[in-house]
Amino acid sequence: MGPAFIAAIGYIDPGNFATNIQAGASFGYQLLWVVVWANLMAMLIQILSAKLGIATGKNLAEQIRDHYPRPVVWFYWVQAEIIAMATDLAEFIGAAIGFKLILGVSLLQGAVLTGIATFLILMLQRRGQKPLEKVIGGLLLFVAAAYIVELFFSQPDMAQLGKGMVIPALPNPEAVFLAAGVLGATIMPHVIYLHSSLTQHLHGGTRQQRYSATKWDVAIAMTIAGFVNLAMMATAA
C-alpha cells in the first residue's frame, strides 16, 4: 500500500455515494459506463500528480506558486480552499450520520466521534507516512469487501451490468445531469494536490523505479475505488 491508497479514499466519499446511488436507482445499469470512464480519467490524473511530486520534489501547490503570476496563485488558493471546505463538510457530516446509523447515537455525538476518529488517524503521521497509508488502505479494502458482500446478496443482472459498463447511454436530460454529477464526484481536485504532496518526499531506488512503483500503486488503488463506485450503482439499480 502506497500514497495512492490515501488518495483513493477521496473517490468513495459521500458525493460518490449520493450520485452513484441516485443514478442506479433512476437509470439502472445504464450509467455504469460513466463510472468506468471517470475512473480511467482519475487514474491518469493521479499518475500525473504522483509523477509531479517524484520528478520535481515539489507538490502541485508549490509548482503553481513558482510558475504563475501572483493573481493567478491567489485564485488557485481561494479555489482550493473552497473545494477543501466543501469536501470536508460533506465528509464530516457523512461520517457523523454513519455513526448515528450504526451506533444509534445522536448526530451531535456522531460528530464528536468523527472528530476523535479523525484526529486519531492523523496522529499516525507522527510515525511517518506508512502507518497512515496502511490504515487508510485498510479502510478502503473494508469498504470494498462490504460491497462484495452486498453484491452477493443483491445479485445484479450480470449481462445488463456488463452492457452498462461498455455501451454509453443517456436516456434523457436527467441522465445527462446525473452523468455530470458522477463525473464531478469522481474527479476530485483536492486529491490531485494531496497526491503530489504525498510523493514529493518518496525515497528509495532510482527515480524510474519510483515511477514504476507509483504506476502500480495508482492502478491497484484506483481499480479498487472504481469497483466500489460500480458496486454502489449496481446495487442501487
Lookup: cell for 185: 464526484
Name the residue among 46, 69, 63, 31 with its Cα closest to residue 182. 31
Cα–Cα distance for residue pair 136/182, rounded to 1 Å: 23
Tens of pLDDT, residues 165-222: 898 888 888 889 888 888 888 877 888 888 888 888 777 667 788 888 888 989 999 9
Other CB atoms within 10 Å distance of the CB of residue 182: 26
User: If you average pLDDT over every residue of the chain, what do you get?
Assistant: 86
Tens of pLDDT, residues 32-79: 999 999 999 989 999 999 888 888 888 888 999 999 999 999 999 998
Pick the more confident residue, 225 or 204: 225
Cα–Cα distance for residue pair 103/195, rounded to 1 Å: 33
pTM: 0.84
pLDDT value at position 236?
Answer: 85
Tens of pLDDT, residues 87-130: 888 888 888 988 998 898 888 899 999 889 888 888 877 877 77
Cα–Cα distance for residue pair 192/48, rounded to 1 Å: 9
Name the residue among 139, 162, 164, 131 with its Cα closest to residue 228. 139
